[in-house]
Structure 1
Amino acid sequence: MPPGPQRAFSDTSPSVRPAWLTILRRGTDAVLYSSTLVALAATGLTWATFLFWRHPIPFRLVALIFAATLFLYNIDSVLPYKYRQQAVLSARKRWIIRHRRALLGLALGSLAVAGVLFWTDGWRPLTLFLGHLAAISLLYSMPLVRRHGRWRALRDLPLLKIFLIAYVWSAITVWVPALYLGKALGEPEVLVLFARRFFFILNLALVFDIRDYTKDRLSGTRTFPGLFGLRATKLLGLAFLAVSALLVPPGVSAHHLLVLTVPTLLAGAIIWYADETRPDYYFALLADGLLLVQFGVAYWVA
C-alpha cells in the first residue's frame, strides 16, 4: 500500500526529524487543515473575476469573502455528529480533532468579522440571495433527517455533493462580484463566466469525492466514484474540464485564452492521478492550491 498521509514529508521519525522540518510541517498543517488555504482560494477566485472585468476589488470585500469562507469551512469541521461517524481517520481528521476548540474559536471569530462587514458595507438588501448560499453551505453536512438509523444531510442525497459545491463556489466568486459591480446576472458575460467556473469546480469536487471514496461508502453516501468507479469518475472530470474550456467569455483575447488553459491542464493532471491512498497534502495543497493558480494567471494577464 502506498505511503499514508503521515508520511507526506519523509520517513524520518519525529525523534530525529530536524527542528526546521517539524516547524514547516506544523505550519503547513495549520494553513491547510484550518481551511486558511481554502479561504484564500475563494478570495483569489473572487479577485480573479474582478480582474477579468478590469475593476479593482475592494479590500473590505476581500476580508468579507475570506472571513465567511473561514467560518463556513471550520464550523463544518467541528460539528459534533461528525466525530461519531468517523470510520476512516486521515491525518487531516486527526489534526482537526486535536485542534477542535481552536477551530471553533477561529470559526466564531471569522463569523464576527463577516457579520460586521456584511452589516456595515451595505449588503443587507442581498440578505436573501447571500442567505440561501449560506444555508446550502451550513446544511451541506448538518444532519437534517434520520433514515434507516442514520442522520442524513444534503450531501447524502445521491450524486448531489459536487453540484452543491460547484454552485456555491461559482455563485460567490462570480455572482457576488457581478452584483457589486451592478451587472445583471443574466448578462452573457456573467452567465458564461459562471458556467465556466461551475464546470471547473465540478472537476475539483470529483477529486475530493475520490479522496473520500471509502468514507462515503461506509457512511452510505452515494457519489460518482462509489456508483460508477474511479476511472469513469476521472473521465467525467476531464469532460467537465473540456466543457469549461469551451465556455469562453466574450471579449477574451487569444493570448488570454491560451494562458487560461494552464489551470485547466493542471486540473486534468490532478484528477487523473488522484487516488484515496495519496497523502492529504495531495488534495489540500494541490487541488485547493490550483484555485490560487487561477488567480495568479488572471493577475498576470490583467
Structure 2
Amino acid sequence: MSGLKALFNFYLNSSVHVALSAASLTWVSYLNYGIPASKAVLFFVFFATIVGYNFVKFFGLAKFHHRSLSRGLKSIQLLTVCAIVFGGYFAFQLKWASLLYFFGFGMVTFLYASPFIPVKTTVYYQQNLRNLSGIKIYVIALVWMGVTVFVPLVTAPVALEFAVFWACLQRFVFVLALMLPFEMRDMQYDSLKLATIPQKIGIKNTKIMGIFLMALFWLTTMVMPLAMPIATGIQMVIGLLVVCSVLYAKQNQSKYYSSFWVEGIPVLWLLLMLVFG
C-alpha cells in the first residue's frame, strides 16, 4: 500500500494529473463544436502542461540545491525532461499559427515564475507575475483559457468567431471558480502581499463569489451555440460540481481535496462528453 501511495503522490506532485485536466478541457472544446480533435494539440497541451507546472513549482529549487535533490524531485526532473522531448515531437506536427499562440501563452507562464519586474524599495530587486498583488488567479485563468479553448478553436478548420468569444468567456469563468478551493487551501502559505481573493474578502465571500461565477458559467452555457445538444446538460452538471467543491472547500482541507478531486473535474467533464455524446 505504501508503494501505491508513493506512486499516487508522484502522479500528483509531478503535474501529470493537472496535465490530464488541461488535455481534457482541450478535448472538450473540440467536442462542444463537433470538431475532430487534433491529436498533436492534445498531446502537446498534455506534455507542455507538465513542463510548465513543474517549472513554476520547482523554479530555482534545483538551481540552488541541486546537490541535495531528493529522489522524488530527481524523478520529477527526469519526467519533465521526457515531457520536453515528447512535447517537442508533437510541436513539429502543429500549425504555425498554433505554435505562435502556444508560444505567447508559454511566455506568460515563464514570466509567472521568473523575476523580471524591477521593484525599487530600500533594496532593489525583481519580482514575477505570481507575486504581483491580486493578479495570480487571473493570470492562471488567462493561460488555461488560451491553451484549452482559444488556440484549439481559433486554429480550427471551421469559422467559429462568435463561438470563440463565448467559449473563452465561459472557460475563463470556469477556471476562476475552479481555482477558489486552491486559493482557500493556500491561505496559510501565501504571503499577505499576494492579496489573494480569500485574503481580501474572506472565506465566506469567496464561496459566494464562486456561486456567482458558476451562475455566469451557466448563463454563457445557455447562449453558446453548441454542436452537441447533450453538452448543455453536461455543463450544467459540471457547474453544480464546481459549486459544491467551492462550498465544501476550507482552509484546512484534505491533502487530496483540491489537488486530486477538484483538479479532476475537467477529466469527469470529458468522460461525460465521451460517454453520453
The equivalent of 1:115 in structure 2 is 88
CA distances 1:169-223 after superposition (whole Å, capped 9, x unpaired): 11111112113323456x12121111111101100122211111121135x3111
State the match for 1:129 in structure 2: 101
Contact 1:48/1:299 (CA < 8 Å) preserved in 2? no
User: What is the letter of the counterpart of residue 199 of structure 1?
Assistant: V
Deviation at 1:66, TM superposition (A): 0.8
Is 1:56 aligned with 2:36? Answer: yes
Report matched runs for 1:204-219 at 5 Å.
204-217=178-191
SS of the residue corresponding to residue 277 of structure 1 reads coil
Aligned-residue CA RMSD (Å): 2.4
Given that residues 50 and 80 in structure 2 are in contact (C-alpha distance below 8 angstroms), is that contact kept between their aligned partners in structure 1?
yes
Question: Which of 249, 262, 276 is the aligned partner of 2:251?
Answer: 276
TM (normalized to structure 2)? 0.87
Who is 2:19 aligned against? 39
- The offset of 1:146, in angstroms, is 5.8
Cα deviations by residue, 1:135-160 (Å, 9 ceiling, x for unpaired):
11122122224645575220222221
Map 1:157-196; keep pairs closer than 5 Å: 157-183=132-158, 187-196=161-170
Q: Identify the range of structure 1 (223-232 vs 108-117) with the bigger mean alpha-carbon deviation.
A: 108-117
Q: Displacement of 1:128 after TM fit?
A: 3.6
Tell me how far apart the structure 2 counterparts of residues 127 and 47 of structure 1 sit (CA, whole Å): 18
Aligned residue type for 1:194? C
In the TM superposition, what whole-angstrom CA distance separates every residue of 1:31-64 from its partner, at most 9, and x where no partner exists?
1111111111111111111111213323332221
Paired residue secondary structure (1:129): helix
For residue 55 of structure 2, what is the aligned residue in structure 1? Answer: 75
Q: Distance in 1 between matches of 2:40 and 2:111?
A: 27
**1:10-42 deviation per Cα after TM superposition (whole angstroms, max 9, x unaligned):** xxxxxxxxxxx2122112111111111111111
Residue type of the alignment partner of 2:76: L
The CA distance in 1 between the partners of 2:62 and 2:173, in whole Å, is 29
Secondary structure (helix, strand or coil) at the match of 1:250 reads coil
Aligned to 1:156: 131
Q: Which amino acid aligns with 1:169?
A: W
TM-score by length of 1: 0.81
Equivalent in the alignment of 2:5:
25
Shift of 1:252: 6.2
1:5 corresponds in structure 2 to: none
Partner Cα separation in structure 1 for residue 40 and residue 227 of structure 2: 28
The sequence identity of aligned pairs, in percent, is: 26
- What secondary structure sits across from 2:263 in the alignment? helix
Q: 1:184 to 1:152 in 2, by over 3 A?
A: farther
Contact 1:166–1:201 (8 Å) recurs in 2:
yes
Instruction: Indicate conservation of the 8 Å contact 1:209/1:224, yes or no.
Output: yes
Structure 1: how far apart are the matches of 2:152 and 2:127? 33
User: Does residue 223 of the first structure (1) align with residue 182 of the second (2)?
Assistant: no
Conserved 8 A contact 1:72-1:107: no
The whole-number CA distance in structure 1 between the counterparts of 2:82 and 2:226 is: 41
2:153–2:164 CA contact under 8 A, matched in 1: yes
Equivalenced residues, count: 268
Q: Distance in 2 between matches of 1:179 and 1:228?
A: 36
